[in-house]
């Protein structure tokens, strides 16, 4: 008998605009000691599936089909039986460890809470030990722990009553690559040691590939592909799976590198004039050194990736290069001339260098239409000529066609990818020569990521636009960049061409980062050979 079996499960939500079907006849099974991955984009119904296992769905949900936990149907359980099953038989690692812990209780008490409720005896320090946290962490309040530590506390909490099934909903989404790798290791070890069944939900195929035995890909509430994880990822059959797999490229895999050799010609790149140069740049916030002496060059028509963990000073560096933050020491040169300090000088500089922000939803004023958002820069700079024509041109460069159709849309009427295109169009309207993109795809769905990256490459080819792409994702750097600079604690520890840095890293930190990237089923590239 399977530990968990979903038979023809459908979930409908009763909304103001009629009934919406979130999950459509999903059938899945999981044995003890196994890991099942559930992949899909936001809104595909994967979290609804997870919540239906413990009947945690909101009141307006209507469930059809069966959810069998150890052969017992969850839907027909009495309230008391359900309470006993929750946590003791199956538990959940909730999404977003930052908010799932109560800030006013010590984490030890929170781990002990389910044990107290179920009358189970157990030791908090033992549980903490299992997730590789010191026993004294039990005395800490959530704010005293890092993101990865909090996530491990959540896992310890899920294990408190020794359940046989654990459901992890996006357990590593908000975490850095290095921390993500540690958390995934903990989960993998627990599955094999304690013979529990793990359902892991993620939008990131590479995370699932490195932990799961079986993989199910969901789209619009339906399972479009299911099978052994390695097979699904190595040779996806459904186009949606292919798009998802392509969005998380493998470093070193030539197929996922989208820069054509002609673009990346090293000799050609060296001849191009230097567009932006930072010399000995330092930015201090009080006593913290956010940027501690950075030398960086971006040449015309070149895409440079700035890679680093969160807190490494990447964003501060970007803001300083844009002139939004004044450096403590050092200087920024654009075409050999130092960045002006006057307001009018900076304004002129902004026509050359533009910014694309991480989250397009918050980067657009919700009250402004697409037209207003794109025309904003033109109005600030009092650009001559036909405004509507320039807006239309910028929108079609950003591949929002036909542009007139989007003029009067408000941001909330667009999809995430379309919003990011509007942000890019707003930058393009000014005809800049360099784009500084801060995590341009981090908040987008997987299938849209590839499109936005392809757009950046096409803009480089068609308009000769250089870009400095800031990212925590080495795969992204591998996909589109000519050169990579690795940032660690405010310093650039390594920079060079993509092949040099990512295939034969010299610095210890670069190697750590690379080792932490989850790998697909494809064979490991030769790390020792020079490109």
Q: Which stretch binds another protein (CB under 8 A): 210-218, 305-313, 404-412, 473-481?
A: 404-412
Min dist CB 386 to another protein, Å, is 11
Distances, alpha carbon 507 to alpha carbons 424, 494, 500, 512, 514, in Å: 34, 7, 11, 9, 11
Helix axes 446-463, 239-247, angle to 10 degrees: 60
Return d(Cα 283, Cα 290) in angstroms, integer: 6
- Give 20 or 324: the residue with its C-beta nearer to another protein: 324
Regarding 401 and contact with another protein (CB under 8 A), the answer is: no
Q: Which of 357, 441, 455, 503 binds another protein (CB under 8 A)?
A: 357
For residue 307 the two structure tokens come to 């890679």
Q: Which of 343, 384, 385, 412 binds another protein (CB under 8 A)?
A: 343
Return d(Cα 56, Cα 50) in angstroms, integer: 9
- Give 309 or 369: the residue with its C-beta nearer to another protein: 369
Counting Cα atoms < 13 Å in the Cβ hemisphere of 304 gives: 25
- Give 189 or 379: the residue with its C-beta nearer to another protein: 379
**Cα of 393 vs its chain's centroid, Å:** 30
For residue 311 the two structure tokens come to 């807190």
Min dist CB 406 to another protein, Å, is 12
Q: Which residues pair with 299 in a beta bridge?
A: 274
Return d(Cα 291, Cα 293) in angstroms, integer: 6
- Give 438 or 482: the residue with its C-beta nearer to another protein: 438
Letters for 414-453 (x = contact with another protein by CB under 8 A, - = none) are ---------x--xx--x-----------------------
Please state whether the peptide bond connecting residue 402 to the residue before it is cis, i.e. omega within 30 degrees of 0: yes
Site for another protein in 283-342 (CB under 8 A): 322, 324
Which is nearest to 171 in space by CA: 243, 69, 100? 100
Q: Which stretch binds another protein (CB under 8 A): 50-58, 138-146, 198-206, 346-354?
A: 346-354
**Cα of 502 vs its chain's centroid, Å:** 20
Min dist CB 362 to another protein, Å, is 5
Which is nearest to 168 in space by CA: 182, 181, 179, 183? 183
Min dist CB 349 to another protein, Å, is 8
- Give 94 or 407: the residue with its C-beta nearer to another protein: 407
- Give 113 or 372: the residue with its C-beta nearer to another protein: 372
Pairing relationship of beta strands 483-488 and 491-497 according to DSSP bridges: antiparallel
384: left (phi over 0), alpha (psi -120 to 50) or beta: beta
Helix axes 387-397, 446-463, angle to 10 degrees: 120
Core vs surface per residue 200-211: b (16+ CB within 10 A) or e = bbbbbbbbbbbb
Site for another protein in 470-509 (CB under 8 A): none
Regarding 387 and contact with another protein (CB under 8 A), the answer is: yes
The helix/strand/coil state of 324 is: coil
Q: Which of 94, 407, 478, 509 binds another protein (CB under 8 A)?
A: 407
Regarding 275 and contact with another protein (CB under 8 A), the answer is: no
Site for another protein in 200-229 (CB under 8 A): none
Q: Which of 380, 413, 464, 506 binds another protein (CB under 8 A)?
A: 380
Regarding 350 and contact with another protein (CB under 8 A), the answer is: yes
Regarding 351 and contact with another protein (CB under 8 A), the answer is: yes
Interacting residue ranges for another protein, rule: CB under 8 A = 322, 324, 343, 346-347, 350-351, 354-355, 357-359, 362-365, 367, 369, 371-372, 376-377, 380-381, 387-388, 407-408, 410, 423, 426-427, 430
């Amino acid at each position: 008998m399977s530990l968990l079996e979903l038979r023809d499960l459908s979930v409908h939500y009763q909304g103001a605009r009629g009934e919406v079907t979130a999950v459509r006849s999903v059938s899945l099974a999981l044995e003890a000691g196994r890991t099942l991955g559930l992949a899909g984009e936001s809104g595909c119904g994967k979290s609804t599936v997870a919540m239906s296992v413990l009947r945690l769905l909101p009141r307006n949900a209507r469930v059809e089909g069966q959810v069998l936990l150890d052969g017992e149907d969850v839907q027909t359980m009495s309230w008391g039986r359900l309470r006993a099953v929750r946590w003791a038989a199956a538990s959940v690692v909730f999404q977003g460890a930052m908010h799932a812990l109560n800030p006013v209780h010590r984490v030890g008490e929170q781990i002990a809470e389910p044990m107290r409720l179920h009358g189970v005896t157990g030791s908090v320090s033992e549980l903490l030990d299992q997730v590789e946290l010191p026993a004294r962490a039990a005395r800490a309040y959530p704010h005293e722990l890092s993101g990865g530590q909090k996530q491990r506390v959540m896992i310890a909490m899920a294990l408190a009553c020794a359940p046989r099934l654990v459901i992890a909903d996006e357990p590593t989404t908000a975490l850095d690559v290095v921390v993500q790798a540690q958390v995934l290791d903990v989960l993998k070890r627990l599955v094999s040691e304690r013979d529990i069944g793990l359902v892991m939900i993620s939008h990131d195929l590479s995370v699932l590939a490195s932990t799961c035995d079986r993989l199910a890909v969901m789209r619009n509430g339906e399972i479009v592909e299911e099978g052994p994880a390695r097979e699904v990822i190595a040779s996806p059959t459904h186009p949606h799976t292919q798009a998802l797999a392509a969005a998380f490229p493998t470093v070193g895999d030539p197929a996922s590198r989208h820069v054509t050799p002609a673009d990346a010609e090293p000799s050609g790149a060296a001849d191009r004039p230097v567009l932006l140069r930072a010399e000995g740049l330092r930015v201090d916030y009080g006593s913290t050194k956010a940027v501690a002496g950075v030398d960086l060059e971006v040449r015309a028509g070149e895409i440079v990736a700035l890679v680093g963990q969160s807190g490494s000073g990447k964003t501060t560096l970007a803001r300083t290069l844009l002139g939004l933050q004044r450096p403590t020491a050092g200087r920024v040169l654009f075409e050999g001339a130092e960045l002006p300090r006057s307001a009018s000088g900076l304004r002129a500089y902004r026509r050359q260098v533009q910014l694309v922000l991480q989250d397009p939803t918050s980067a657009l004023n919700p009250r402004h239409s697409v037209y207003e958002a794109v025309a904003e820069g033109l109005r600030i700079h009092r650009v001559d000529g036909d405004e509507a024509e320039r807006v239309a041109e910028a929108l079609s460069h950003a591949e929002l066609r036909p542009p007139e159709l989007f003029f009067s849309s408000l941001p909330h009427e667009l999809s995430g990818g379309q919003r990011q295109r509007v942000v890019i169009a707003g930058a393009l309207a000014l005809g800049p020569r360099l784009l500084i993109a801060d995590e341009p795809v981090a908040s987008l769905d997987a299938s849209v990521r590839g499109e936005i990256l392809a757009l950046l490459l096409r803009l480089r080819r068609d308009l000769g636009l250089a870009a400095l792409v800031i990212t925590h994702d080495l795969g992204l750097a591998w996909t589109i960049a000519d050169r990579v600079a690795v940032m660690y604690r405010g310093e650039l520890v390594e920079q060079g061409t993509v092949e040099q840095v990512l295939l034969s890293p010299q610095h210890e930190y670069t190697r750590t980062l690379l080792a932490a990237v989850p790998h697909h089923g494809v064979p490991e590239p030769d790390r020792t050979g020079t490109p």
